Amino acid sequence: MPRRSPFTALCQTLSRPAQTDRADLHVHSTHSDGLYTPAELIDLACRSGLAALAITDHDTLAAIPDARAAAAGRGLEVIPAVEITADFDGREVHLLAYFVDPDDGPLLAALARLRHARVSRFREMFDKLRAAGVPLCEEDVPIAPLETLGRPHLARLIVGAGRAGSVREAIQRYLLDGSPFVVPKVRLPLGEATALVRDAGGVSSLAHPWHQTTRDQLKAMCNVGLTAVEVEYPDFKSARARQLRTWASELGLAVSGGSDCHGPGRRPVGSHTVSRAELDALRALSRRPV
């Protein structure tokens, strides 16, 4: 194999993005409702110069083996993570779990139950839409045992049926909360979810707190095991991010953050991140070295 010249080696080094020492802790792959494969997400993270990436697919850890294989030898830390569908005080919340053991039996069993319920929910919504005259085809229903089915999958079928021009339009027209076609998800009580994460060696963070979330609500979630809160997120204005950081400090919570990338568009991998110090603070709360 020919040896590279020093000039060629220098050019290749300079062409690589500088390591930002930042971490994107919220992205989704094709194993749930994302459009990028785990390997593609790893490549995008490396191109962005990230130090660490967490693929937080909905209710599944299936992306981790492929992500780790794609990241081997590339200087990118892959954090085992998942976004769990949970319930707090009658409201759907999403729990980001980091540094979990991807082979933990009780956690895997709970996630499997949620995915199975998602399949039933998808089927019910599919049938409701067909009964209303939306020409969806049985043959187009995705069948993948590790995939987490949700509204984006159904929206893509609606687009394919010619009833909307985009996934966004399909969701706006047919699949917003309160629509007669939307069936509520099965959700784990937040305390049960945080306990599963803790017992799997991980640390739990509240994903994208809704705009009306108060300090008292965060405190109540702390009382059932929440240990962190997402403070960097595409939809947050700077004042909201500062407020959440202040509350986190007052309540003794760690912080997380990420792009919530689902594919090409306005939320690219690495667009919202946390620092190495903030990642290490999350890591310190876990019980599992990675």
- CA angle 199-194-125, nearest 5°? 120
The Cα diameter of the chain in Å comes to 67
Q: Is residue 191 part of a domain?
A: no
pLDDT of residue 288: 56
Number of domains forming the structure of the chain: 1
pLDDT of residue 144: 60
Per-residue pLDDT of the chain (290 residues; tens, 9 = 90+): 344 454 444 344 334 455 579 999 999 999 999 999 999 999 999 999 999 999 999 999 999 999 999 999 999 999 999 999 999 999 999 999 999 999 999 999 999 999 999 999 999 999 999 999 999 988 877 766 557 889 999 999 999 999 999 999 999 999 999 999 999 999 999 999 999 999 999 999 999 998 889 999 999 999 999 999 999 999 999 999 999 999 999 999 999 999 999 999 889 999 999 999 999 999 999 975 44
In the numeric block, the tokens 């394919």 are attached to 160
Is-above-0.85 flag for pTM?
A: yes
Q: Is residue 184 part of a domain?
A: no
pLDDT of residue 2: 44
Relative to beta strand 228-232, strand 203-206 is: parallel
Q: Is residue 49 part of a domain?
A: no
Q: Is residue 223 part of a domain?
A: no
User: In sequence order, what are the residues at sequence separation of 6 or more whose Cβ sits closer than 8 angstroms to the Cβ of residue 8?
Assistant: none
The pair of three-digit structure tokens given for residue 193, joined into one six-digit string:
């979810």
Q: Is residue 78 part of a domain?
A: no
Number of H helices, E strands in the chain: 10, 10
pLDDT of residue 3: 47
Domain of residue 168, residue span: 118-174
Q: Is residue 162 part of a domain?
A: yes
Q: Is residue 89 part of a domain?
A: no
Q: Is residue 135 part of a domain?
A: yes
Q: From 170, 250, 247, select the one nearest 213 (Cα to Cα).
A: 247
